[in-house]
Structure 1
Amino acid sequence: MDDLSYGVSAQTTVDDIGIQRPGRDALVMSAQLRLSSLATPVTVRIRNLSAGGLMAEFSGRAGVGDAIEVDIRGIGWVSGRIAWIAEGRMGIALDNDIDPRLAHDARSTLQLI
């Protein structure tokens, strides 16, 4: 899957302990993911993306806390750690904030989902 589907951008939200956090953009895009336990990068689908993290579909073997790298279109390779794993998905906390708008470059085909 090489296309990008982009949903309506989420607004800033307040979490359950009262801290304001920027919302995540709902999207579907493919990316390459590297884990130290894998010999080669694997293709994953990113389902949402924010400045500090992302959620990806991944059914391989990994553990919470594992270091990863993800090649996000328009941004490049970014590093982070797996924050959670559930039912074929993983949440990744990025080591450094990114600008998620860069993932939506001029060559991408945008579609409402």
Structure 2
Amino acid sequence: MSGLNTRSVSRDSLLLVAELAVGDRPAVAVKVRNLSDTGMMGEGELDIAVGEPFVVDLRNIGKVHGRVAWARGKRFGLNFDKIVDPKLARAPVGTGPSEAPRYARPAVAAPPAAPDARTLRKL
């Protein structure tokens, strides 16, 4: 662990799931316990060592690279190579200007009215 004290860095405490790939091992689902602009604390069933490279796929942020800062039991700390906006991970998924699928859009025109009984032919 570096000698840099990061305890005063603002963090978002939250609980979400992310995909974490450490080294050349396949990605596994991990819990994100807290997230800051420079790193995160996670929890999961994986064997990692300090200094290992990783790629984590965070909701609404995307893939972020970095190195493992610490590991104790099932919990671990990750340092990101680039600064991220932790507030994005809290935003609901799919809240963009995307258009609803055609089947979910309302009809443009009102359905045709019932025919007038006076104009119908009597049988």
The alignment's TM-score, normalised by the length of structure 2, stands at: 0.67
- The CA deviation string for residues 57-86 of structure 1, in whole angstroms up to 9 with x for no partner, is 023111100000000000000001000001
Structure with the bigger percentage of helix: 2
Q: Which residue of 2 aligns with 1:55?
A: 41
Q: 2:72 aligns with which of 78, 86, 110?
A: 86
Larger Rg: 2
1:57-76 equivalent positions in 2, closer than 5 A: 57-76=43-62
Structure 2 residue runs of 5 or longer lacking an equivalent are 95-123
Q: 1:32 aligns with which of 11, 14, 19?
A: 19
Identity between Structure 1 and Structure 2 (%): 36
Distance in 1 between the 2:45 and 2:92 partners?
Answer: 31
Paired residues in the alignment total 91
Match of 1:43, SS state, is: strand
| AA in 2 matched with 1:93 | N
Match of 2:64, SS state, is: strand
How far does residue 21 in structure 1 lie from its aligned partner after superposition?
Answer: 3.8
Structure with the bigger percentage of strand: 1
RMSD: 2.2
In the superposition, relative to structure 1, how do residues 82 and 21 fare at CA in structure 2: closer, same or farther (>3 Å)? same
Structure number with higher relative contact order (C-alpha < 8 Å, ≥ 6 residues apart): 1
